[in-house]
Structure 1
Amino acid sequence: MTLLPFLAATSLAAALLGPAAALAGEGHDHGDAPPAAAGPAMTRFAATSELFELVGVLDGRRITLYLDRAADNAPVTEARIELEIDGARLTAEKHGEDAFEVELPEPPASGVLPITATVTVGDEIDLLAGELDIHEDEHDDAPVREISWQGWAPWAGGAGLAGLALIALVRRRPAETGGKRDGGAE
């Protein structure tokens, strides 16, 4: 019969300490949760070589390009970039301080589009290849709900208290009836 008091004490400790553990003090938490994405991620492609790294971000008909040196990841601010996408040859124009942009004649269709980029920086000329993988997903705009253990800790504490109350009720019942049980001979 010593097992029942041990279980009751364990349930009580879990019920009392569970919510307290969810409220970690300064220095014991892991900082603010990362912000959730505000909208669907834009389609991207990357193309690399020994000299350059090129990243393109598709937004409708516009592709914003970011060009870095492969050796030190330093942005390249002056370059000539020509893209060949789906048979069309497009020349990028400078956009802002460290980006370039091309406008597609029409929005690309779903599927995988091979991209070839010719990059000219001073005397350096490099050919980079990548793929733009476009998928129409019906669940892109569905919100993503994050669930953490901290949200469940008070519920677990409540369940522990309910279990403790049930154990106490079951233990008390035979004592209240004077040890008599139904269905037995007297």
Structure 2
Amino acid sequence: MKSLFLAAAWSLLAALCGPAVAGEGHDHGDAAPAQAGPAAPRFSAVSESFELVGVLRGRQLTLYLDRSADNSPVTQARIELDIAGTSYPAQPHDDTYEVVLAAEPAPGVLPITATVTADQEIDLLAGELDLHGPAEDHDAAHASPWLRYAAWTAGAMALLALLTAGGLMARRRLAARHTDTGATS
């Protein structure tokens, strides 16, 4: 019985201890970079000639336009976006283009169509901007770890309760045997 209790105690201890984590300078390799915060919503649209990526920050939509063949930036183009039925011309800004929306978009999926004119090429690209509300992002990012810790804690408490109950039952049985046989401790 004592070996069963020791095995259960070691199992509990192993379950409660997390994986070993090496400190700085002892990790033996490059760690994947941690994401500093939630990523800004973005969309992409691709054709045979162009690749367009848009990143939304509030009301400002920053556009990156590259050639599909060699991924080189296209800096001298005219871009017009149609976002959910409203037309927006993009303004060149360094190696990017910018569009300022009339209002910050509401959560949901927005269809985006871009008309790109560069040199003698005219191309039509289509994509979708999938927006989630801040509460949805916050809940998804923070609920999961706490649920996992709560499940581990509940499991550890249940195991401890079982071990304690098993130990009490074993003591009662031993006490009952000593009383039945007349033995004294």
Write out per-residue CA displacement over residues 86-109 of structure 1, whole angstroms, 9 at most, x where no aligned residue: 55443211234x321112344556
Q: 1:15 to 1:54 in 2, by over 3 A?
A: same
Q: Residue type of the partner of 1:172?
A: R
Q: 1:18 to 1:70 in 2, by over 3 A?
A: same
Q: 2 CA distance for matches of 1:87 and 1:16?
A: 60
The question of whether the paired residues in 2 share the 8 Å contact of 1:67 and 1:99 is answered with yes
Write out per-residue CA displacement over residues 31-90 of structure 1, whole angstroms, 9 at most, x where no aligned residue: 68944745xx65433221012111223344332212223234444344321223455443
1:102 aligns with 2:99: yes
Other structure's SS at 2:20 match? coil
Q: Which residue matches 2:5?
A: 8
Q: 2 CA distance for matches of 1:107 and 1:157?
A: 47
The question of whether the paired residues in 2 share the 8 Å contact of 1:12 and 1:160 is answered with no
Q: 2 CA distance for matches of 1:6 and 1:155?
A: 25
Other structure's SS at 2:143 match? coil
Write out per-residue CA displacement over residues 145-172 of structure 1, whole angstroms, 9 at most, x where no aligned residue: 3327678657655654443332222111
Q: Which residue matches 2:171?
A: 172
Q: 1:32 to 1:24 in 2, by over 3 A?
A: farther
TM-score (norm: length of structure 2): 0.65
TM-score (norm: length of structure 1): 0.64
Q: Which has the higher contact order (CA 8 A, sep 6+)?
A: 1
Write out per-residue CA displacement over residues 14-43 of structure 1, whole angstroms, 9 at most, x where no aligned residue: 1232234x1414359xx68944745xx654
Q: How many residues align?
A: 171
Unaligned ranges ≥5, structure 1: 181-186
Identity %: 45
Q: 1:166 to 1:114 in 2, by over 3 A?
A: closer
Q: 1:11 to 1:138 in 2, by over 3 A?
A: same
Other structure's SS at 1:173 match? helix
The question of whether the paired residues in 2 share the 8 Å contact of 1:14 and 1:157 is answered with no
1:139 aligns with 2:135: yes
Q: 1:175 to 1:36 in 2, by over 3 A?
A: farther
Other structure's SS at 2:145 match? coil
Q: 1 CA distance for matches of 2:71 and 2:144?
A: 33
Q: Could you say which structure has the higher helix fraction?
A: 2
Q: 1:152 to 1:66 in 2, by over 3 A?
A: same
